[in-house]
Amino acid sequence: MNEKEKAAAGLLYDNNHDPQLVRERNYCKSLCFEHNQLNPLKLTEREEMIRKIVAEAKGPFVIEQPFYCDLGYHIQLGHNFYANHNLIILDAAKVKFGDNVFIGPNCGFYAAGHPLDVEQRNAGLEYAYPITVGDNVWFGGNVVVLPGVTIGSGSVIGAGSIVNRDIPSGVVAAGNPCRVIREITEDDRNKYKRA
């Protein structure tokens, strides 16, 4: 079993020294660099570059610059995806976003993690667990989502949260560690003034 296969199986793998993974990561980082250097007004070129990077982009999307990821081919974007500046996706495993996902600035989705054991960590070993985000989820700024987390549809993750466990659908969750604060209710529909 090669290192890429170990990662896909959820086993410890060597991401630092495996030539194939290093080559794939460097190629993706080169594409991210090109994307981040494009004039922000060149929306068509920016979208084309992101489509070269990610595995799937269902419909219209916007990813503001800068954007960084490790491999790209594990990222799936749903319809009407929006990410503000400085999105980081460490996609050593699949990172899947549903439709109508909105992400604030400076957010990170980290499918990769490192062992607690110092010898394994110093040997360059890591693990990769998928991240899944449902439809209609909003992330405030500076949110970090850790390996293996699933976030249910219709939820809101408050700014500055560290999400280290699954979050159910239809809730407001926040904090470090992120926890459910309350359900989203009909009263929330009328909370803000409209013209």
Given a contact cutoff of 8 angstroms between Cβ atoms, the answer to whether 172 and 155 are in contact is yes
Q: List the catalytic residue out of 17, 74, 85, 114.
A: 114
Q: Please, is 81 exposed, middle or buried when counting C-beta atoms within 10 Å of its C-beta (0-12, 13-18, 19+)?
A: buried
- Side-chain-side CA neighbours of residue 9 (13 Å): 9
Does the annotation mark 114 as catalytic? yes
Query: Measuring CA to CA, which residue among 115, 110, 104 is closest to residue 146?
Result: 110
Residue 58, CA distances (Å) to 16, 48, 88, 122 in order: 32, 13, 20, 39
Q: Collapse the DSSP code of 145 into the 3-class scheme (helix H, G, I; strand E, B; otherwise coil) and give the result.
A: strand
Q: CA-to-CA distance for 1 and 59, rounded, in angstroms? A: 36
Lookup: tokens for 140: 């405030």
Alpha carbon distances (Å) from 80 to 44, 63, 103, 137, 164: 15, 11, 12, 11, 26
Question: Which residues are catalytically annotated?
Answer: 114
